[in-house]
Amino acid sequence: MSWIETNEAIFRLSVFVAVLAVMLLAEWRRPKRPLTRTRRERWRGNISLTVFNTLTLRLFAPLTAVGTAAWAQAHHVGVFNVLALPEVFAIILTLVLMDLAIWYQHKLFHQWPWLWRLHLVHHADMDIDVTTGARFHTVEIWLSMLIKCLVVMMLGAPVMGVILFETLLSGMAMFNHSNVALPKQVDAWLRRVIVTPDMHRVHHSTRFHECNANYGFNLSCWDRWFGTYVPQPRKGHKGMRIGLAEVSQATDASHILGMLRLPLRWRILQRAYQNNKETQAHEPSHRHIQKPR
């Protein structure tokens, strides 16, 4: 058993802190957009929700994705264990196939109304920065963990592969949600393989066809292959509006209690649904291609 497996918590925490520090510094030195709300106001809610979600998972979740992988390996459950694949090959397949599973899960959370009620908490943030990457409703976090455990069990994913995937998931979420202005050539080169901040920022637009695009968190190929790729926002990165047009109150967008009760705000949900129908009817269905700004 490797050092990473025996020291999973230390490894994941170290990577998390390192990526967070780098992205915070990058946001401070090279911000892409001016913020519409103060960091203190937004971070208080986003970080509080993240801590609350982490504690509920640690205290009440019967099994984590890593624990599921260990159980599947011990009981020879899952495709990789049945086929007895070499560990290196199984780890690579785990990273790729779980990435695809998260992409499809993300798409479903946009398409199914009852899942969108939960996921809109993530999109209600009126700005987007490194803290947005961990801002999710508690019920969505639990559902996501359940889905990951099911995928891990079906694959028979190795423990090392799942640890690396979970570490990659949190690290890339902070990276592609960051408010960082990458040089255009660097962004163009990186997005050939991975999701960049500019690519994912389009997904947080208030425009219907931009919000329902660019679902990837790590590999950028899935959106290209499945026709959900929008290169740039129609109004440019500095002119686009981020968040949800139906959520404008700070209590709904920035306070933990407002975020937790947001899926129950029926008037907001009904108005959002109606606006989406009207926007979908009037907006062209083609993907917007223009030079980045």
Write out pLDDT tens, residues 226-273: 999 999 999 999 999 998 877 766 666 778 888 998 888 755 555 554
Which residue, among 74, 90, 107, 72, has the nearest Cα to 164 in the 3D structure?
90
Residues 56-61: contacts with CB under 8 Å, at least 24 apart = 56/138, 56/141, 56/142, 57/141, 57/142, 57/145, 61/142, 61/145
Token pair for residue 16? 């998390």
Q: By C-alpha distance, which of 250, 233, 268 is closest to 45?
A: 250
The separation between CA 290 and the C-alpha centre of its own chain, rounded to angstroms, equals: 25
Q: pLDDT tens, 39-90?
A: 888 899 999 999 999 999 888 777 899 999 999 999 999 999 999 889 999 9
Q: Quick one: how far is CA 200 from the chain centroid?
A: 9
pLDDT band at 293 (very low <50, low <70, confident <90, very high): very low
pTM for the model stands at 0.88
pLDDT confidence tier of residue 159, bands split at 50, 70 and 90? very high
- Residue-wise pLDDT tens digits, 132-151: 999 999 999 999 999 999 99
pLDDT > 70 fraction of the chain, expressed in percent and rounded? 88
pLDDT of residue 152 exceeding 70: yes
CA distance 214 to 206: 14
> Among 131-145, 184-198, 204-218, 244-258, where is mean pLDDT lowest?
244-258
Rounded to an integer, the average pLDDT of 261-290 is: 56
The structural domains of the chain, with segments of one domain joined by +, span 39-282
Average pLDDT value over all residues in the chain = 88
The answer on pLDDT for 15 being more than 90 is: yes
